[in-house]
Chains A and B, each alone.
Chain A
Amino acid sequence: AQSVTQPDIHITVSEGASLELRCNYSYGATPYLFWYVQSPGQGLQLLLKYFSGDTLVQGIKGFEAEFKRSQSSFNLRKPSVHWSDAAEYFCAVVVDSSYKLIFGSGTRLLVRP
């Protein structure tokens, strides 16, 4: 079955430090790939998406992600984290024509002052 894995449940970084959140998917073909962010009690905000083409995609709030087909990965990065980035981050994929999203279990980002 198709799946999305986010191996890190929690990540803590210091403000100003770089960040990388991992995401791996299990699917034969290249799915559509997404990263969403969710602040406590809030909705899901799309950070960035990958459909095809350039494997390095830029998103909002200074985030970027790189699709690596050989590793079935779509890791999210940010060069310098801000305290306001503390939130839950979900990787998600669309794998068929129904376009329903399959979410990973999420990574909670904590930012140290």
Chain B
Amino acid sequence: AAGVIQSPRHLIKEKRETATLKCYPIPRHDTVYWYQQGPGQDPQFLISFYEKMQSDKGSIPDRFSAQQFSDYHSELNMSSLELGDSALYFCASSLAAANTGELFFGEGSRLTVL
């Protein structure tokens, strides 16, 4: 079965650079969530989208932005990168109509800021 696809899997950037992470949800899933997991930390909710509209917002820095496109894929844009942005970024998708709260996670994109 198709899973959530994230790209790139690994990314190395310098401070103050910009990075873009992409997420392709499971087909027919209409909701996408982004999480950030720092080293040794639990995943922290950043932002979510339902039907291409932002549905909830968590601890996402102002330097970050995200959107969901017409094909339901989502991109997380991170600017003015800081060392503390080094983390594993997870995308998850779900089908809102399923009403189960079950999220399906991708493998994650590991961002390293030097």
Contacts and interface: CB of A to CB of B under 8 A. Distances in A.
Interface residues of B, number: 27
Interface string A79-93: 000000000001000
Interface size class of A (residues with CB under 8 A): 20 to 34
B105 A100 contact: no
DSSP majority for the B interface?
strand
Contacts, number: 57
Interface in B1-44: 31, 33, 35, 41-44
A91 to B, nearest CB: 10
Contacts of A94: 101
Interface of A: 32, 34, 36, 41-46, 49, 51, 90, 94, 98-106
Given A100-B33, A101-B92, 14 more contacts: A41-B88, A42-B107, A42-B108, A43-B108, A51-B100, A51-B101, A90-B42, A99-B94, A99-B96, A100-B56, A101-B33, A101-B35, A103-B42, A103-B43
